[in-house]
Structure 1
């Protein structure tokens, strides 16, 4: 007769995919907070509620980016090489303004041309990578070649050669897996892309005038970090979220597919996706002067402020946990607690205009070819890269085949989540410790403080 203890052990083992991952995530958060050592304040909170979130975020004194925060060492660790010239990490001032202007120039263009380019890249990659009647894919991985080619085209104004696409995609996947703590950073992949871009910059093959305030090596790192690191990763993540939401909500998917030219409704789908699954989890800023919250409370200069997008986006809505694009028919994104690209007064995402435009074009290309189906979990971080079944619209699978695939995806997702959470705990802890040891941000600012930058006599605005 089977003992009660054995039954209890068996139940505990079989149920681990349902309870252990959440416990590990909570433990990982505690490890990150303890190892980082920052006494950061996360908003919204009891002191600064959602009604004042954007006010504090937009405050002129909340403009420090990296100097003085232990958290910066971790982000520089993930986003190096050249993290000191990654646009996200430059301190406010003339150098940041110079780089930001260049980024906006590269990302600009007529809407029709940008949409057409995104549609061409999407169609080309889909036709290349998804052959046959149906395919199981990871949506983030599927979308990376699309945005590698698209952003390469913006920077170099020419078609992306296979070598460049391979280097960009390999580097971007390495970045995102380390950010998700599902894999370590591989310095060789990072360096190969750096060498390729350096050859192109030295040869004068970039189709834009790059920031004059940067040295040649810094220009290489700027291109790699801004466009072929953050740009490719964020666009691929954003598309994975939208397509996974469509795969899980067939009524929304079919409405978009039935009327692909309805920009308004597709815009609502993007707004709702960005609300529920914002690309930025936390935006951290360091105060460069005191900020008076009220007559009793002041945030002192040097404070680390962490602005939580998911927490803010969950306030001010009826049923915030429900994916409901139709809510935007009754409310304005501008008036809602909705800042998917940040706030205009404090370093907004430079792709705030470009991203929705080209994503709509890419979604149309995907839905013109495939129906999407998935039963996997949908979280903001999507560490599983969004598994999904794609089926040709003109050659559908039998219903029972789809049900079998859905069951397989659901079961695999549960068990993958189990081992992945343990991997994330181990790798995440190791990377936080290694970033703290390396002190990339701290070392950079220490050197700046110890030795004032030299100036090239021939170029007063350029550092030697």
Structure 2
């Protein structure tokens, strides 16, 4: 196991231990992958934030406004209204979504001549522009794009523990959205105050959506960069094969590490095991995705010719019975369109380590189509990428341990979720 993999493993254990003895991770030795969906889908496993120490950490990372973030709202009329609004904003004809993503991708890539780049950094402006169009129904101005990218990059950098939070940077976007709230053509949740509506937009569309789409694209493009035959096939393939590429990427490199739920009532697992109300259930996507496949560590889109995503151990967008990602329909459409536009313009090559957390942001060489790189120069670039990646990996791993420890302790001290639910007037926003 590499140092980076050890750090990822340690971070996973930290998430499990934050809650103390009332947390249990699935799948485990006793309740394996065959019980995973059943437990995840259980009607009692519906709690989102209240009562979990891990919530304090996620609220800390997602500030400002985690109390109205769709992923962390508790069940009830307020969540239902927010969820309906999100689905309405995300809906639209497939061809319109494809056209918008292709246009946004082209606009960003028009300014990139090729060369060495970090894939997450390259793709984040694409999704900033696309999500702005979803929310405001108009092209994204440069000022807004810079604010959205700065905010989203700060969030994901903190999540990867490669940098601390910079709340002033995040609040610049908050102030911008507050000024523009009246320009949003969508009917926003009436149960939210104007400030909460701003936080809802910022958290759902300019945090989660931009971050996750950027991460997903970095994984897809890096996987293609490291499998040239698959890349060439994908560059001319139909939607079916590109769908297999996305499925295989999300299987090997799921965007979610651990999702947690809090039990609202008892859950009986067998005659000897009953989970009491208030238990924190941690569902490990990587562990679940690694079961039920032949040679699970191999990147092989062709395996999906004989697999059904509904029957396979594969939940890239969560469990349908327990709040799946609201972008489960939009994301594959959007990512296929972006992949097509990138591959239409460039060939990709990379020798860096590809991990699920991808703290390196995906260093890669992009060569414009029609241009060639001499074998000697390509070998030199590959060697440079490999050596730099290994060197950065050492320092970055220690940085993650240090900053991650600090943020866990700071989040426990601030107790954003705990204080919010303990407050007799929970409509008041917690201090971030």
User: TM (normalized to structure 1)?
Assistant: 0.90
8 Å contact kept, 1:38–1:70: no
1:60 maps onto 2:43 in alignment? yes
Please list the CA deviations of residues 394-440 of structure 1 after superposition, one character each: whole Å capped at 9, or x if unmatched. 11111221111001000001011000000001000000000000000
Q: Which residue of 2 aligns with 1:408?
A: 384
Distance 2:170 2:272 in 1: 48
1:61-460 equivalences under 5 Å are 61-128=44-111, 130-131=112-113, 134-201=114-181, 204-257=182-235, 259-260=236-237, 262-447=238-423, 450-451=424-425
How many angstroms does 1:39 deviate by? 3.4
How many angstroms does 1:23 deviate by? 4.7
How many angstroms does 1:37 deviate by? 3.5
Aligned residues: 428
Distance 1:331 1:339 in 2: 13
1:146–1:434 CA distance, 2 compared to 1 (3 A): same
Segments of structure 2 that go 5 or more residues without pairing to the other structure are none
8 Å contact kept, 1:368–1:393: yes
How many angstroms does 1:98 deviate by? 0.5
- Secondary structure of the residue aligned to 1:284 is strand
Distance 2:14 2:95 in 1: 47
Distance 1:315 1:384 in 2: 26
Distance 2:206 2:225 in 1: 27
8 Å contact kept, 1:31–1:429: no
Segments of structure 1 that go 5 or more residues without pairing to the other structure are 1-17, 455-464
8 Å contact kept, 2:17–2:23: no
Please list the CA deviations of residues 211-242 of structure 1 after superposition, one character each: whole Å capped at 9, or x if unmatched. 11111100000000000001100000000000
Distance 1:345 1:126 in 2: 38
The Cα RMSD (Å) is: 1.5
Distance 1:107 1:20 in 2: 39
User: TM (normalized to structure 2)?
Assistant: 0.96
Distance 1:156 1:296 in 2: 54
8 Å contact kept, 2:161–2:399: yes
